Structure 1
Amino acid sequence: MTESNPITTPMSSRRTALVGGLMVAAGPLSISLYGPALPTIVAELGTNEAMGKLSLSVYFAAFALTQLVCGPLSDSFGRRKVAIGFLLFYVLGSLVAAFGPSVEFLLAGRILQGIGVSVGVALSRAMVRDQFVGREAIGILTLINLILTVAPAVAPTIGSVILAFGSWHLMFIVMGLYGAFLMALIGFASRETHPVVARVPLRPVGIVANYWRLLSSMRFMGPAGVLGLSFGGFYGFAALLPFILIDDIGLTPFQFAMTMLIQTGSFITGNLLAGYAARRLDGDMMVRIGLILLLLAGVGFAAGLRLFPTAILAVMAPVSLWMLALAFIGPSTTAAAMAGFGPIAGAAGALTGFFQVGGGFVGSLLASLLFPDARSALVTLIPIMAGLAVMIALVNRVRTRVREAAIPET
């Protein structure tokens, strides 16, 4: 029997997953598609590696912060209108980055792109929460999560193929075309999942109150913190890998793209294993398995390149473990964070997305400011993020047990 939200079920679970997944894909595609060309972009624009990483940091910042706006807007005006409106910014930003003559135009274009793709993570989750709860919601979020993480793994391969036929500017044109496709998809192939009767007035005080309600709830903050650090680490090393594998180890852009298929295969394998396990284990046990894998990945990042400085496997083995971990952590923590916040699902989806992408912003920014090169950042910063994710999960578990013990039995 389908377990669904009693307010409205205008789309099937399959269509919801497809539309949501394609919306979500725009964000990670825009991170990794131009990864193979980053060294070339840095050289052609006459800038340095730090500015190349900054083009990722400003994108993460716009991506993360704008979710805090688009989520409440969709709670008030509906999901479809807000999604189409924000995607216009994405298309515009893609064109600015493609045709701008300097690194300043590239940074401006990336900011506009980040603003535009913010609707993907926030509104796809809200669309699921509008219609489904329980196991069915976790199943749909698992499919969306698969696209969210496979997309940046496949994107470097696509980017290297594009480079074979043209310059890096063509990559941003492709991004703009994808944004236009999403606008058409949302306009003609999806339906509004947030009916007028369920909408809330757009009041700044109300928005602040909704976010404060979420931020002050450990039911939200515990899983959201784990989600943010685990995916933040993923986005962080996605930004660093091109410089390490191409500049340091010496791979060609095509070899880099082929190497990144290891990441894709690991996550697909992880989702198959997680899907099998989810039928037998509860969400808490799924997260525990994921955290063990995450901790092992952090140890691998810390030790691998220090012991074997030129070995590709020293990089990709911990990457594989991290991708396996995400398959177990992502859907369960997302569903747990949003459970019980149906009337403000847009805000809850936006804030989970803020933590998730904001972790990438913090990671890439710290990598640019605190470390002399990408290698130093990878072996230090990413293990710290893994350790913090495990620590937050342990603290949240202890708090939950204490709270449950304090409730008298009836």
Structure 2
Amino acid sequence: MSDSSPREKTSPLVIMSERRVGIIGGFLAAIGPLAMSLYTPAMPEIVSDFGTTEAAVKLTLTAYFGGFCFAQLICGPLSDGYGRKPITILFMSVYLAASVLALFAPTIEIMVLARLLQGVGAAVGVTMSRAIVRDLFTSDRSARVMNLIGIVLSVGPAIGPTLGGLTLEFLGWHAIFLVMILQGAAVILMMLLFVQETGKPDPSRVRPRALVQSYFSLLKTPHFLFASLVLTGATGALYTSATIMPFILMTRVGLSPSTFGMGMLLQTAFYISGGIIYRILMQRVTVFQMSCIGLLCTGSASILLAVLLRIYEPGYLLVMLPMGLYVMGIAFLTPQMTTAAMAPFPKIAGSASALMGFFQMGGGLVGGIISASMGDPVIAMATLLPLMGLLSLISYIMWNRFKLPLAPTLEHPITPEKSADR
């Protein structure tokens, strides 16, 4: 669907400007990372409060990843069949109920269940944000909106550890779930008041046979598969680090919960800086060059983590500076690879977004499981994140071989267009 198609000209969706979609999409996409980053500062305290082990508490995060990962495969096609708006409200209601369950969880087993259900509900956020963008925009407009979503999204992980750490220190870990309850209610209210339906609901797409065919068509397309794997390596490393860093920075380095939360702002500052630089360079740099910048950042960070954490005792800057460089690379890769992967699939944008998210969160799920089994969080970080960076690099090389000449953004410098409603 081109930007000048009759559908875009005649549809009332033009009221949803690039800026509006970017902000709304950013809030939706931030649901998952915020629910994770709010929670991570509390993990060491939950170990002691429930009288359990680090491995058991890490399982709560693994359960969250698992629910998030697999639920995307359901909410994406459901949104193709019944609409983006009602499915988002349905899944956010699950998230809201799960947050209440977590607040009153009497045992670590109930907490694991609550976190699993939270992941199921939160999965709708990132899936719908990408699908809505694909419904409305293509080419350079899509890349611009995805970049804006990334900048808005970065505010969530920035606020999350800080808010989580301060809440933990002054009110206890139970209050963290009160914040999540308010978050879920706010997102539902936003969907009801400010978001229009952007898809063309078609219940036939939810039939098992049609659903299998949709996913099969995506998986057998190397262009989609390798673009998704680029982001699996990049963002999977970020999700994996979230399960590891609290135990490195709080248990090994000795940061307090509030200091840990404030310290995570450095990582977010790198991401925001990357997003702003990306936006400036969009007018004069090719997609290939933009992707190379991203891969150079993630690759350099991978080497630093692999070497420095094996030579020196971990410290705050020793961990956070390489991670900051890593997330700066993610800021460059995400808009390009997301736009490129989803461009050929306008009719199944929800399914394409879901499968892409499944790959990304699956990377975090596998990384979290392996890191828990490795025992030493420092060795886990020095091993798993560089391997994921390598996966991202190899996948990009393969994507570049199979990429489709579908849009100017894949081959030429990105130049901004004027949007009548922007």
Amino acid at match of 1:317: L
Residue pair 2:80, 2:200 contacting (<8 A) in 1 also: no
Runs in 1 of length 4+ with deviation above 6 angstroms?
A: none
Amino acid at match of 2:318: A
Identify if the C-alpha distance between structure 1 residues 4 and 252 changes in structure 2 by more than 3 Å, giving closer, same or farther: farther
Cα RMSD after superposing both structures: 1.6
What is the identity percentage for the equivalent residue pairs of Structure 1 and Structure 2? 39
Residue pair 1:23, 1:120 contacting (<8 A) in 2 also: yes
Instruction: Supply the distance in 2 between the matched residues of 1:284 and 1:53 (Cα, whole angstroms).
Output: 38
Question: Does the alignment pair 1:313 with 2:317?
Answer: yes
Question: Does the alignment pair 1:354 with 2:358?
Answer: yes
Residue pair 1:42, 1:49 contacting (<8 A) in 2 also: yes
Instruction: Supply the distance in 2 between the matched residues of 1:256 and 1:193 (Cα, whole angstroms).
Output: 39
- Give the CA deviation at 1:152: 1.9
Question: Does the alignment pair 1:376 with 2:357?
Answer: no
- Give the CA deviation at 1:313: 1.6
Identify if the C-alpha distance between structure 1 residues 92 and 29 changes in structure 2 by more than 3 Å, giving closer, same or farther: same
- Give the CA deviation at 1:330: 0.5
Equivalent residue in structure 1 for 2:54, among 38, 44, 49: 49
Residue pair 1:156, 1:257 contacting (<8 A) in 2 also: yes
Partner of 2:3: 3
Partner of 1:66: 71
Q: How does 1:326-365 map to 2 (within 5 A)?
A: 326-365=330-369
Instruction: Supply the distance in 2 between the matched residues of 1:317 and 1:165 (Cα, whole angstroms).
Output: 28
Instruction: Supply the distance in 1 between the matched residues of 2:251 and 2:6 (Cα, whole angstroms).
Output: 54
Residue pair 1:290, 1:325 contacting (<8 A) in 2 also: yes
Q: Deviations over 1:361-388 (max 9, x none)?
A: 111111112x012112101111111111
SS at match of 2:206: coil
- Give the CA deviation at 1:85: 0.5
Instruction: Supply the distance in 2 between the matched residues of 1:145 and 1:173 (Cα, whole angstroms).
Output: 26
Instruction: Supply the distance in 1 between the matched residues of 2:123 and 2:42 (Cα, whole angstroms).
Output: 24
Instruction: Supply the distance in 1 between the matched residues of 2:18 and 2:402 (Cα, whole angstroms).
Output: 34
Partner of 2:395: 392
Partner of 1:213: 217
Question: Does the alignment pair 1:277 with 2:281?
Answer: yes
Question: Does the alignment pair 1:249 with 2:232?
Answer: no
Gaps of 5+ in 1: 402-410
The count of corresponding residues between Structure 1 and Structure 2 is 398
Q: Deviations over 1:87-121 (max 9, x none)?
A: 11100111111111110111011011001011111
Partner of 1:17: 22
| TM norm structure 1 | 0.94
Instruction: Supply the distance in 1 between the matched residues of 2:77 and 2:379 (Cα, whole angstroms).
Output: 39
Gaps of 5+ in 2: 405-422
Identify if the C-alpha distance between structure 1 residues 400 and 315 changes in structure 2 by more than 3 Å, giving closer, same or farther: same
Instruction: Supply the distance in 2 between the matched residues of 1:157 and 1:6 (Cα, whole angstroms).
Output: 46
- Give the CA deviation at 1:399: 4.5
Residue pair 1:294, 1:386 contacting (<8 A) in 2 also: yes
| TM norm structure 2 | 0.91
- Give the CA deviation at 1:146: 2.3
Partner of 1:226: 230
SS at match of 1:156: helix
